[in-house]
Structure 1
Amino acid sequence: MTGTDSARPLDGVRVLDCTQMLSGPFATQLLADLGAEVVKVERPEIGDITRAVGPTVGDSDVSSYFASLNRGKRSVELDLSTPAGAAAFERLAADADVVVENYRPGTMAEWGLGYDDLREGNDDLVYCSISGFLEGPNRDLAAFDMVVQALSGSMSVTGQADGSPARPGIPIGDICAGMYAALSVVTALSVRDQHGGQHVEVPMFEGLVSWLTERAGRTLATGDPYPRMGTAHPSLAPYRAFETADGWFAVAVGSEGTWASFCDAIDRPDLADDPRFETNADRVEHREELTAELEPLFAGQSAEAWFDLFCEHGVPGAPVRDTVEVFEDPQLRESDVTTDLSLGGTDMPLVQFPARFSGLSTGTNRVPPRLGEHTREVLDDDALDAVERDGG
C-alpha cells in the first residue's frame, strides 16, 4: 500500500541529486518514492531547467514538468563550478549514500567532484552517472531523447507502414536510462557491505537498444529490419487498433483460443470457419482481407460498447484512452498508486512507485520543493558561510 505510515525500502538512505531534465530526475524520483531522502542540488537562481518549462500548475509558479519528477525532494542551491560550492558538496557527499548526476561526461571531474575525488572521503559512496553513451565514438555526442531514439532503432519501428518514422509519444530514451539508474543504485546499495562503493555508468543509447528485445531477435534471425506497422504486429493478427464510432479500440488476439472467443464476441462465427483465417499464420497471410472484414464492424459501435463485449468474453482489448481519460479511470484510482498532491488549487494525482511490497510502504505526498528551499537546513554553518561569502 502506498503512503508514509510504515517503513519504506530506502529509509535512511541519502541521495544527492545532481540531475535535471528527465532521465536523472525520474531515477531519483523513484528512489524518493522508495523512501530515500533526496537532496536536489540546483544552480543558484536558475535551478533545474524544467522549472522554466511551462505550463505552470494552477495558480502556483511550479511548472508541470518539474512537478511530475521532483515530488518529496529537498532543494539546495549550490554552484558546483565554484570552489565554495564544490567544497560544500564534497562535505555533503562525505555523509551521503548515493550521488546521481547527468552532466556531460567529465564535467563533475572537472569540478573535482568525480567518483575518484569523492570516494577519498567516502569509500561506501554509490556514484551513478547517466549519459547518452558508454565509451565509443559517440561518447561526447549531445544525448537528447530524440537523438537516442533515432540512433537506437526505436523510431524506425514506430509509425505507419507507409509513413515516416515517428518518435514514440513517451520519452522512452530518458525513462529507460532513469529506470536502469534506479535499478543500478539499488543493486549497488544491496552489495555495498561486500563490495564497497561503486561507480555506475548508465547509458541512454545502449539501454534503449536493450529494449528492442524481440524486435532485435527477429532482426538477427532474419537479417531484415523490423517492419514499421503502426499498431499492427508482424507475427499476429488481428493485433491492432480499429476505429470505432467514437474513438479507437485496441485488439490483441494472440492465440487460437482467443481467436475463437474473439469471433464469438463480435458475433461473427463465420470468420472462425473461414479457411483464410483458420490459423494465426493464415490470418497474417490474409491480413488485408481480415482487416477489411473487421473495420466496418468496429465502426458500428462505441469503444466502450466493444470493451464491455470483450470483457464479457474474456478477449484482450481496450479503448485507447487519452491522457485525460486515464486519470479518470476507476482502475487507477482504486489501485491506490496516485498521490494526493494539490498545487495551486489543482489536483495532481501522479503515479508513485507502482510496485507493491507486502510489508513495506512506498510513495511520498510532499510537494516539489521551491528552488533552494532547504539550503539552510542541509548545509552546515561553515559551508553556508563560505557559499554566501563567495557566491557559490
Structure 2
Amino acid sequence: MANSTKGTPLEGVRVLDCTQMLAGPFATQLLADLGAEVVKIERPQYGDITRTTGPDVGDSGITAYFSSLNRGKRSVELDLSTAEGAAAFKSLAEVADVVVENYRPGTMKKWGLGYDDLRSVNEDIVYCSISGFLEGPYRDLPAFDMVAQALGGSMSITGEEDGPPVRPGIPIGDICAGMYAVVGVVTSLYGGGGDYVEVPMFEGLVSWLTERAGRTFVTDEPYPRLGTAHPTLAPYRAFETADGWFAVAIASDNTWQSFCDAIGRPELVDDDRFATNDERVKNRSELIEELAPLFRARSNDEWFTQFREHGLPGAPVQDTHQLFENEHLRESGVLDDLTIGGADFPYPLCPIQFSEAATRSGHTPPQLGEHTEVVLSEVLSDSEITRILSNRE
C-alpha cells in the first residue's frame, strides 16, 4: 500500500499524543499512518501502561500491545504534572497542530494544559479529548471499554439467544472513539484549526447501533440476542462444518434460489416453508434442521470454493492466526512486515487507499523516551533540557 514516491495525506502535521491504553493510541496511530508526525508524551520511567502488558515482541523489551498501537511515533518522557513539564509541553504546543489526550476529564486543565491554556500560545491548535462520556450523570465514571459496551447496548445484543450477554471480541468502545477522534481532528484541520473536539466512547457506541436502534423504536422491544443469526434474514448465520464454522449471508430471495442450487438442494426453493425470506425467518428452526447436516458434511475450504464459484456471500470463520496467512490479505498490501527484537510481525496498516497519496509503513515502535532530547531540543535550551532529564530519574 505504501508508496515512497507519493506524499502522505497528513504530511507536515505535528501531533502531540498524550494518550495511553487503546482508544487514544489507536487514533494517533491512524494519524501517524496517514503521515502525521506523532510525538508521544509518556510518564518518566513508566510510560504508557501497555508497555508492561505482555507478551514482549522478541527480545525488544517492547510488548505486542504497545507496538501494535504506537508504530512510527516518537517517544518523549515528560511529567506534565510538574511546572517544568507543563512549561515544556506548552513550548511543544506552540509549534504543533494537534493535541490528543485521553486523561480523566479535567486532568489536563488541572495541569494548566487545557484547550484555553494552549490556545493562548497557539490559536490554531486542534485539541481533541477522548473521554468515556459527555457531560451528564456518567461524566466521571471510569471509562473502560467494557463499561461503555455494557451501557451502550452492544453487549446486550451479542451472544447466543439462550446465553448471557457477551463482550464483542474486539474492544469496539475504544476503537469507535479512536476513529471518531480521527474524523474530528481531520475535519478541524480541514476547517483551518483552532477548535476543541471531544469524543466519547459511550455516545459513540450508541451512534453505532444504527438500524439496531431503528428496529427498537419501531417494535418497542429490545433488539434480540441471536448469536450469529439475523432477526429479519434467513439463512444468515454461521454453520458448523467438518473442520470449523462457515458464515452464510443470504439476504434476498434471488440469492436463496442460487444458494439452493449450489448446495444441491434445488427442491427447497419450492418448499412453502422457505419460499420467501419472511417464511424462512418464521420457520427458522426447520430451515436450520435442513441445512445443518449439509454443512457438517464438508470442509470450510470445500464450502468456500463452492460459494465463490456460484458468487454467493459466505466465508469460513478464520481465527487470528489463520487470518494473517490469508492469501488475499497478503496480496492486498495492507500488512507492514516489520522485524522487531529479532521477531517478524505483519502489522496491519491503515487500509485507506488514495490515488494521489500513500500511507506510511516501515516504522517501528519507540523505546521509552527514545526521542526526548532530540524533540525537546527543537523548543528548549540546553540547560532546560538538562534540568528535565535530571528530574526524570
Same-fold status (TM-score > 0.5): yes
Matched residue, 2:341: 344
Mapping 1:1-392, distance limit 5 Å:
1-192=1-192, 196-380=193-377, 381-382=380-381, 383-391=384-392
CA distance in 1, matches of 2:390, 2:257: 76
Helix, strand or coil: the match of 1:54? Answer: coil
- Partners of 2:358 and 2:46 lie apart in 1 by 34
Q: Any idea what the Cα deviations from partners look like across 1:117-167, whole Å, max 9, x if unmatched?
A: 000000000000000000000000001000000000000000000000000
1:311-368 deviation per Cα after TM superposition (whole angstroms, max 9, x unaligned) = 0111100000000000000111100111121112222111111011001010221100
- Please give the secondary structure, in 1, of the residue aligned with 2:347: coil
Segment of structure 1 superposing worse, 142-151 or 373-382: 373-382
Instruction: Report the Cα distance in structure 2 between the residues aligned to 1:4 and 1:182, rounded to whole angstroms.
Output: 23
Cα deviation code 1:32-70 (max 9, x no counterpart): 000000000000000000000011112221100001000
> How many correspondences in the alignment?
389
The amino acid that maps onto 1:83 is A
Residue segments in structure 1 that go unaligned for 5+ positions in a row: none
1:161 and 1:29 map into 2 onto residues whose CA distance is 37
SS of equivalent residue, structure 2 residue 168 = coil
**Cα separation, 2, equivalents of 1:230 and 1:351:** 28
Q: Which runs of 4+ in 1 moved over 6 A?
A: none
Which whole-Å CA distance do the structure 2 matches of 1:355 and 1:168 have between them?
24
Q: Distance in 1 between matches of 2:130 and 2:153?
A: 20
How far apart, in 1, do the equivalents of 2:277 and 2:343 lie? 48
Mapped contact 1:32–1:364 kept (Cα < 8 A): no
Give per-residue Cα distances to partners, 1:273-310, cap 9 Å, x unaligned.
Answer: 10100000000000000000011110000011000000
- The answer for unaligned runs of 5 or more in structure 2 is none
- RMSD, matched Cα: 1.0
TM-score with structure 1 setting the length: 0.98
The amino acid across from 2:7 in the alignment is A
CA shift, 1:390, in A, is: 4.3
Greater CA drift, 55-64 or 288-297: 55-64
Cα distance between partner residues in 2 of 1:294 and 1:260: 14
Q: CA separation in 1, counterparts of 2:75 and 2:4?
A: 20
* Aligned mates of 1:198, 1:288 — CA distance in 2: 54
SS, match of residue 16 in structure 1: strand
Cα 1:224–1:167 shift into 2, 3 Å: same
Equivalent AA in structure 1 for residue 101 of structure 2: E
- Distance in 2 (CA, whole Å) between partners of 1:258 and 1:363 is 40
Q: Give identity over the alignment, percent.
A: 67
Given residue 225 of structure 1, which amino acid in structure 2 is its aligned partner? Answer: P
CA distance in structure 1 between the aligned counterparts of 2:59 and 2:15, rounded to whole angstroms: 31
Amino acid at match of 1:343: I
TM-score by structure 2 length?
0.97
Instruction: Name the CA distance, whole Å, in 2 between partners of 1:390 and 1:239.
Output: 60
Paired amino acid for 1:221: V
1:298 is paired with a residue of what secondary structure?
A: helix
Residue range with higher mean Cα deviation, 60-69 or 161-170: 60-69
